[in-house]
Amino acid sequence: MILPICLYGNPVLRKQTKEVEVSKDELKQFVADLFDTMDNANGVGLAAPQVGRAERVFVIDTAGFKETYPNVEVRREAFVNPYIIEEFGEDFTFHEGCLSLPEIGEDVVRKSSVRIQYTTVDGEEREEVVSGLVARVIQHEYDHLEGQVFTDRLSSLKKMILKRKLSDIATGRVRPAYKTKPNK
C-alpha cells in the first residue's frame, strides 16, 4: 500500500524514534508498505518517520542509481532497529535529495564507510561494514531516525540560501507527483 509521505516542516521528522518489535506480523506489512511507497516515488530509500511513524525502520533500494552508476552495488533491503557503530574512511561528497524535501538537491559530505548493526525483517541480527552508495543511502536514512534531514548538514550559508525553498515545502507550495501528507 502506498502511504502519503510527510514533508519538511512536519514535526514527525524531528521526533525521537523508538525501536520496533521484530516479532510482530504488522512489521512485515509496514516494511512492504515502505517499499511500495519508495518505489512509487522513485526513491532509493525511505525511513519510517517519512510516513509518519517515529520508529527505527528504513528501507533502501540502490537499483535507482544503476542508470547513472552502472557498477553500483544493488541492495534492496529493510533495516530494523539499526545502529551505526562507526563511520570511517575518506570524506565523500555526493549530491543528495530527499522525498520529504522535494525539489532540493545539494552536495553533502559524509564518510565513505559505516559499520552498522541491525535486524532483518525476518529477525536475523547482523553487523556489517558497507561503503560507497549503499553506505550513503544508509547514512541518509539513518539521519531520519535521529530526527535529522540532509539539509541540517549544510553550511549556514547554504541553509540561508535554501530558507525560502524549505519554507515553500513546509507551507505546501511544493507539490511533488507522489502522494504527500499536507502539513497542518
Q: What are phi and psi of 40, to 5 degrees?
A: -60, -30
> How far apart (Å, rounded) are the C-alpha atoms in residues 27 and 33?
10
Residues 114-153 that bind Zn ion (CB under 5 A): none
Q: How far is the CB of 171 from Zn ion (least distance, A)?
A: 19
Active site residues: 141
Terminal Cα-to-Cα distance of the chain (whole angstroms): 23
Report the residue number whose CB is nearest to Zn ion: 98
If one asks whether residue 98 binds Zn ion (CB under 5 A), the answer comes out as: yes
Q: How far is the CB of 96 from Zn ion (least distance, A)?
A: 8
CA dihedral 30, 174, 39, 85 (to 10 degrees): -60
Contact of 37 with 2, CB cutoff 8 Å: yes
Q: How far is the CB of 143 from Zn ion (least distance, A)?
A: 7
Stretch that binds Zn ion, among 12-20, 64-72, 98-106, 107-115 (CB under 5 A): 98-106
Q: Which residues bind to Zn ion, rule: CB under 5 A? A: 98
